[in-house]
C-alpha cells in the first residue's frame, strides 16, 4: 500500500481548503436564528420549514438553526415542535439575516422522544464520521455491569471484560490508549493502558452517549485513532423546576443490589443537579465448576469465581448559570470502587490460594484486590456573540489506583518483607495520576461555511508506589490546535475538511530496586541495586488531517471520510520493565518507539423505506508503525520467576471490516433488527508478520424481535424483546492467544411504564444468557485461562422520575 508523502498530503489539504473558502459568499441568502421559550431558554429539535417545499432544518441543542439558499423576496417559515404551539412568520429576505423566535409551551410531553430522534438523525446526516447516539432510555433498557458493557450491544463496540463490574471499550478491535473517552467535554484520563483496569464512569450519570467510529484525532488529538466515546450529562433543568429520579437495580448472578438517587432544582437562571450511586455485589457465577490456570486445575465452589465481589459509589454535583447568551456549569464527581481479582489468576503462584478462606463468603473482598478513586472538577462554558459561538472546558482529575496482594518474593527479592520498608507489605502497586486540561473552541458561521477553530492542552503528573515495579513515574504535556470547516455546497451535499497540529513531551523518571541483586561479570559476582528504568525525555510532533462529504436525499444518504490519526507512545510502552501479575508475563518497553501513524477511510451507505431501513458502514485502516507487545522466545529468571518476556515493538498493520444494521417493521407493533460486524487485521512486518492483532473480535450478528403492544387503559411503553447473538469462531490469533470457539446466546428483555401519583414509574427486566450457555469471549481479560463468561443473569431495574414545574414570568 502506498502512503502519501508529507508534502503531497499538505498540498492536497491546502488545495481543498482553498476550494472551500473560495465560495464563502454565494449569491443565495441565508437566514439564521435562535429559538427559545417564553423563559428565554433555547429549544432543541424545532423543525424550521418552508411551507410548500421540502426544505427543512432542525435546531441544535442550543436552539440555533440555519436556513440556506433562500431567494430574495418574502419567505414564510413554519416553526414546529411537539410540546409547543406551531407558528408561521413571514420575512422579507433581501440579504442574509438573523432572527429570534419565541415558542409557547404546550403540555404534550409524551411525544418529545420522537423529536429527539429526529434531531439525532439530522446531526448524523451533517457529520462525515460514523456516529451513533444512544440515550438514557437505551442505557436503562440494556443495563450491563458497566457503561461500556451496556454499549456492547451496538455493532463495532466490544469490551475487555475484567469481571462482573469492570470493563474497557474496544472500537473495531482497538482499545486501551487508542480510544478516547470524553466526559462532559474533557478527555477522561485513568490508567487505561492496563487490560485489568476498568473505566471509572458511573453509567447512571450518563444521559446521552455518542460513539464516534473512525479517525477522530483531528478533534480529540492523540489516542483517538480508533474513535471516541463522548458521554454527555442530563440537559439543564427547566426554569423554576424541582425534581429528580430514583433508580433501583438488582441482579441474580452476583446478587447485586444498588441504586442511584438524583435531585435537581432551578430558578430562572441558576440550577443545581446532584446524584449519588451505590452498588454492592458478590462473587459472580460461571457455568462451570472448574477452570485451568495454565494447566493447573482450579475447582470452583458452587460455580462462584472466588474473590470477584465489589462495591462502587458515585457522587455528583453540578452547579450552573444560564441566560440567553451565556452558560457556565461546574461538574464535580467522585467515583470509587473496591473489588477483588479472581484469586487463582493473580500473582506468580496460583496454586497457593486459600480456597477455604475465600469460599467462606461470596461477598467479602480479600486480597488480591484493587481500590480505584477518580475525582473530577470540570467547568464547561458557552458564550454566543453574533455569528461566533465560544466554547471552553477546564478540567482537573486525579486517578488514584491501588492494587493489593500478599507479598511473594521472586528473583532477588528477600524471602521476608523487611521491617524498614515504609511501603505497606500488601501494596503491590500504586498509580497516582493528576491531570489538568483546557479546551477552547470558536464556531463561526460565514455564509455557507461553519468554521471551527480549536486549541487543546493537557498536563499530567504520574506517580508510582508499591513493592513491585512495572511502569516508571512520568510527567507529560501536550498541546494541539485545529481548524475544521463544514461547507454546504447545496441542500444535498455537505463537505468537510480539517487540519490539526500537535506537540507533546514526556519525561520519565528513573527507578532503582529497593533490594540488591547479584550481578555476575565473568567470574566476579557483586551485589547491586539494579536500575529498572532510566531518566528519559522524548518529544513528538504530528500533523493530521481529515476530509469528508455527506450526500443526503429523501431516502438515501451517503457519507465518506478519509483521514490521518496519530498516537504518542505511552510510558508503559517506552519504559516497562517488570512482571505483569495478571498475565504471568515479564514486559519490557522500548524507549526508541516512534508515534503511531494511522490512515483510515470510512464509508456509510443508508437507505430508508417506509417499513425498513439498512445501513452499511465499511472501513479500511492502515498503520505504518503499530505498537504492540511482542512475545519473545526468552524467559526472565532473575526477576520474572521464569515468565516469558514480552517486548514492545512496531510493525505495519492492515485492517478492514464493516458494520451492518437492518431494521424492518412487520406490523405497527412488531419489528425486527439485525446488527452485524466483521473485522480482519494482519501484521505486515516484524516478528509476527502474517498474524492478526491481539483482542481482534470475531465476526458476529445479533438478531432481535420486539413486540410493543398498544393496550387501552393499560401501561404505556410496554415491550417484549428477544435477542439472539451468533458469534463465529476466532481461529485467526496471535500467540499466546488461543483459538476461541463460536457460540450462540439468547437474551430476553421486557419493560413497561405505569403511572404512580402522576409520575411515570418505569420497569425494565432482562434475562441475560437465558440458557446458561458456557462460552468464551475472545476479548475477555480472562480468555487466556479459558475462563467462561458470566452465566444466567436476571436484571431488574426500576426508575421513578419526579418533577414539579412552576411557570413564573
pLDDT at 411: 82
- E strands, 71-178, in order: 73-80, 87-93, 97-102, 130-135, 157-161, 167-171, 174-175
Alpha-carbon distance of 199 to 754, in angstroms, equals 34
157 φ, ψ (degrees, to nearest 5): -115, 125
Alpha-carbon distance of 797 to 26, in angstroms, equals 54
CA 219, 222, 228, 232 torsion-angle sign: negative
Which run of H or E residues covers position 29?
strand 29-36
Is pLDDT at 29 greater than 90 in this prediction? Answer: no
Instruction: Name the pLDDT band for 713 (thresholds 50, 70, 90).
Output: low
| SS3 assignment, position 622 | strand
pLDDT at 73: 76
When pLDDT is averaged across residues 202-218 and rounded to a whole number, the result is 90
Residue written as grid cell 483521514: 563
Residue 82 cell numbers, joined: 411537539
Is pLDDT at 189 greater than 50 in this prediction? Answer: yes
Is pLDDT at 74 greater than 50 in this prediction? Answer: yes
Residue of higher predicted confidence among 13 and 260? 260
pLDDT at 784: 77
pLDDT at 17: 42
| Model pLDDT for residues 603-620, shown as the tens digit of each residue | 999 999 989 999 999 999
Is pLDDT at 6 greater than 60 in this prediction? Answer: no
Alpha-carbon distance of 233 to 726, in angstroms, equals 34
Question: Using the 8-state DSSP alphabet, how is residue 18 labeled?
Answer: H
Q: What is the mean pLDDT of the chain?
A: 87
Alpha-carbon distance of 189 to 169, in angstroms, equals 14
Instruction: Name the pLDDT band for 62 (thresholds 50, 70, 90).
Output: confident
β-pairing verdict for 270-281 and 310-322: antiparallel
Residue 589 cell numbers, joined: 518497553
Is pLDDT at 635 greater than 80 in this prediction? Answer: yes
Residue 146's Cβ-side half-sphere holds a number of Cα atoms within 13 Å equal to 24
Q: Lowest-pLDDT range, 131-140, 298-307, 711-720?
A: 711-720
Is pLDDT at 22 greater than 60 in this prediction? Answer: no
Is pLDDT at 128 greater than 90 in this prediction? Answer: no
Q: Lowest-pLDDT range, 6-20, 72-86, 696-710?
A: 6-20
Helices within 22-111 (DSSP H only): none
Closest by alpha carbon to 705, among 664, 659, 765?
664
β-pairing verdict for 47-49 and 612-636: unpaired
Percent of the chain past pLDDT 90, that is, above it, reads: 56
Task: State the DSSP string of 220-262.
Answer: H-TT-SSEEEEEE-PPPPPTTEEEEEEEEEEETTTTEEEEEEE
When pLDDT is averaged across residues 773-787 and rounded to a whole number, the result is 86
| Model pLDDT for residues 568-578, shown as the tens digit of each residue | 999 999 999 98
pLDDT at 143: 83
Residue written as grid cell 501513524: 597
Q: Is the Cβ–Cβ distance between 323 and 342 less than 8 Å?
A: no
Chain-centroid distance of CA 538 in Å reads 28
Residue 781 cell numbers, joined: 481479560
- E strands, 510-642, in order: 511-512, 517-521, 524-528, 531-533, 536-552, 556-567, 577-580, 585-588, 596-608, 612-636
Please state, as a whole number, how many other Cβ atoms lie within 10 Å of the Cβ of residue 193.
15
Q: Is the Cβ–Cβ distance between 506 and 538 less than 8 Å?
A: yes
| Model pLDDT for residues 131-156, shown as the tens digit of each residue | 888 888 888 888 887 888 888 888 88
Closest by alpha carbon to 549, among 559, 539, 541, 540?
559
> CA distances (Å), 155 to each of 70, 130, 171, in order?
40, 12, 9
| Model pLDDT for residues 652-698, shown as the tens digit of each residue | 999 999 999 999 999 989 999 999 999 999 999 988 899 998 888 99
Instruction: Name the pLDDT band for 38 (thresholds 50, 70, 90).
Output: confident
| Model pLDDT for residues 484-541, shown as the tens digit of each residue | 999 999 989 999 999 999 999 999 999 999 999 988 877 888 899 999 999 999 999 9
pTM of the predicted model, to two decimals?
Answer: 0.84
Is pLDDT at 469 greater than 70 in this prediction? Answer: yes
653 φ, ψ (degrees, to nearest 5): -135, 135
Q: What is the dihedral of CA 252, 253, 256, 259, to 10 degrees?
A: -60
Is pLDDT at 115 greater than 60 in this prediction? Answer: no
Alpha-carbon distance of 430 to 469, in angstroms, equals 10
Q: Is the Cβ–Cβ distance between 653 and 626 less than 8 Å?
A: yes
| Model pLDDT for residues 719-749, shown as the tens digit of each residue | 999 999 999 999 999 877 889 999 999 999 9
| Residue 325: strand pairing partners | none
Amino acid at each position: 500500500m502506498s502512503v502519501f508523502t508529507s508534502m503531497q498530503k499538505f498540498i492536497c489539504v491546502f488545495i481543498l481548503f482553498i476550494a472551500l473558502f473560495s465560495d464563502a459568499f454565494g449569491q443565495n441568502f441565508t437566514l439564521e436564528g435562535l429559538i427559545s421559550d417564553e423563559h428565554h431558554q433555547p429549544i432543541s429539535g424545532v423543525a424550521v420549514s418552508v411551507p410548500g417545499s421540502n426544505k427543512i432544518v432542525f435546531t441544535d441543542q442550543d436552539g440555533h438553526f440555519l436556513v440556506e439558499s433562500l431567494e430574495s423576496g418574502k419567505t414564510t417559515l413554519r416553526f414546529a415542535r411537539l410540546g409547543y404551539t406551531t407558528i408561521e412568520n413571514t420575512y422579507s429576505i433581501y440579504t442574509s439575516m438573523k432572527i429570534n423566535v419565541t415558542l409557547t409551551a404546550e403540555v404534550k410531553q409524551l411525544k418529545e422522544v420522537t423529536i429527539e430522534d429526529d434531531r439525532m438523525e439530522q446531526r448524523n446526516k451533517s457529520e462525515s464520521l460514523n456516529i451513533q447516539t444512544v440515550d438514557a432510555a437505551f442505557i436503562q433498557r440494556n443495563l450491563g455491569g458497566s457503561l461500556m458493557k451496556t454499549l456492547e450491544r451496538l455493532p463495532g463496540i466490544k469490551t475487555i471484560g475484567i469481571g462482573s463490574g469492570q470493563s474497557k471499550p474496544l472500537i473495531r478491535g482497538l482499545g486501551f490508549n487508542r480510544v478516547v473517552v470524553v466526559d462532559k467535554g474533557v478527555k477522561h484520563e485513568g490508567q487505561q493502558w492496563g487490560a485489568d483496569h476498568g473505566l471509572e464512569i458511573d453509567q447512571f450519570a450518563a444521559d446521552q452517549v455518542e460513539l464516534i467510529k473512525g479517525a477522530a484525532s483531528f478533534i480529540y488529538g492523540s489516542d483517538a485513532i480508533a474513535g471516541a466515546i463522548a458521554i454527555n450529562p442530563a440537559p439543564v433543568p427547566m426554569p423554576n423546576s424541582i425534581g429528580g429520579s430514583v433508580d433501583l437495580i438488582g441482579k441474580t448472578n452476583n446478587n447485586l443490589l444498588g441504586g442511584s438517587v438524583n435531585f435537581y432544582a432551578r430558578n430562572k437562571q441558576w440550577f443545581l443537579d446532584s446524584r449519588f450511586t451505590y452498588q454492592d455485589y458478590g462473587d459472580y457465577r460461571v457455568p462451570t465448576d472448574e477452570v485451568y490456570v495454565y494447566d493447573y486445575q482450579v475447582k470452583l465452589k458452587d460455580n462462584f469465581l472466588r474473590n470477584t465481589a465489589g462495591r462502587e459509589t458515585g457522587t455528583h454535583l453540578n452547579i450552573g448559570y444560564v441566560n440567553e447568551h451565556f452558560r457556565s456549569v461546574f461538574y464535580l464527581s467522585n467515583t470509587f470502587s473496591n473489588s477483588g481479582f479472581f484469586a487463582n489468576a493473580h500473582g506468580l503462584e496460583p496454586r497457593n490460594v486459600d480456597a477455604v478462606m475465600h469460599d467462606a463468603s461470596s461477598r467479602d473482598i480479600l486480597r488480591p484486590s484493587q481500590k480505584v478513586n477518580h475525582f473530577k472538577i470540570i467547568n464547561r462554558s458557552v458564550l454566543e456573540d453574533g455569528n461566533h459561538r465560544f466554547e471552553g472546558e477546564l478540567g482537573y482529575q486525579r486517578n488514584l489506583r491501588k492494587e493489593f496482594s500478599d507479598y511473594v518474593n521472586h528473583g532477588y527479592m528477600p524471602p521476608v518483607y523487611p521491617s524498614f520498608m515504609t511501603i505497606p507489605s500488601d501494596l503491590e502497586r500504586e498509580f497516582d495520576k493528576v491531570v489538568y486540561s483546557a479546551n477552547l473552541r470558536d464556531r463561526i458561521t460565514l455564509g455557507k461555511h461553519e468554521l471551527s477553530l480549536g486549541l487543546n492542552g493537557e498536563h499530567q503528573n504520574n506517580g508510582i508506589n508499591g513493592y513491585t515495579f512495572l511502569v516508571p513515574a512520568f510527567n507529560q504535556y501536550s498541546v494541539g490546535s485545529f481548524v475544521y470547516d463544514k461547507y454546504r455546497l447545496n441542500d444535498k451535499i455537505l463537505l468537510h475538511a480539517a487540519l490539526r497540529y500537535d506537540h507533546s513531551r514526556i519525561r520519565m523518571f528513573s527507578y532503582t530496586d529497593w533490594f540488591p541483586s547479584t550481578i555476575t561479570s565473568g567470574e566476579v559476582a557483586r551485589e547491586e541495586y539494579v536500575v529498572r528504568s532510566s531518566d528519559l525525555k522524548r518529544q513528538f510532533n504530528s500533523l493530521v488531517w481529515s476530509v469528508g462529504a455527506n450526500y443526503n436525499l429523501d431516502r438515501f444518504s451517503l457519507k465518506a471520510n478519509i483521514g490521518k490519526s496519530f498516537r504518542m507512545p505511552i510510558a508503559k510502552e517506552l519504559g516497562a520493565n517488570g512482571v505483569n501479575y495478571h498475565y504471568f508475563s515479564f514486559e519490557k518497553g522500548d524507549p526508541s518507539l516512534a508515534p503511531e501513524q494511522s490512515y483510515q477511510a470510512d464509508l456509510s451507505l443508508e437507505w430508508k423505506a417506509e417499513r425498513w431501513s439498512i445501513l452499511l458502514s465499511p472501513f479500511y485502516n492502515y498503520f505504518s508503525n503499530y505498537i504492540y507487545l511482542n512475545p519473545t522466545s526468552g524467559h526472565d529468571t532473575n526477576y520474572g520467576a521464569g515468565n516469558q518476556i514480552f517486548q514492545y515493538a512496531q510493525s505495519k498493520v492492515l485492517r478492514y471490516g464493516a458494520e451492518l444494521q437492518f431494521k424492518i417493521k412487520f406490523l405497527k407493533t412488531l419489528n425486527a433488527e439485525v446488527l452485524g460486524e466483521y473485522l480482519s487485521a494482519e501484521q505486515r512486518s516484524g516478528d509476527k508478520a502474517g498474524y492478526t492483532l491481539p483482542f481482534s473480535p470475531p465476526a458476529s450478528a445479533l438478531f432481535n424481535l420486539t413486540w410493543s403492544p398498544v393496550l387501552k387503559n393499560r401501561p404505556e411503553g410496554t415491550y417484549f424483546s428477544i435477542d439472539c447473538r451468533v458469534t463465529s469462531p476466532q481461529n485467526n490469533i496471535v500467540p499466546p492467544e488461543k483459538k476461541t470457539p463460536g457460540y450462540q446466546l439468547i437474551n430476553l428483555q421486557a419493560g413497561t411504564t405505569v403511572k404512580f401519583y402522576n409520575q411515570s414509574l418505569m420497569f425494565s427486566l432482562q434475562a441475560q444468557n437465558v440458557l446458561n450457555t458456557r462460552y468464551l469471549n475472545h476479548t475477555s481479560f480472562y480468555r487466556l485461562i479459558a475462563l467462561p463468561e458470566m452465566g444466567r443473569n436476571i436484571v431488574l431495574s426500576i426508575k421513578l422520575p419526579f418533577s414539579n414545574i412552576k411557570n413564573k414570568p
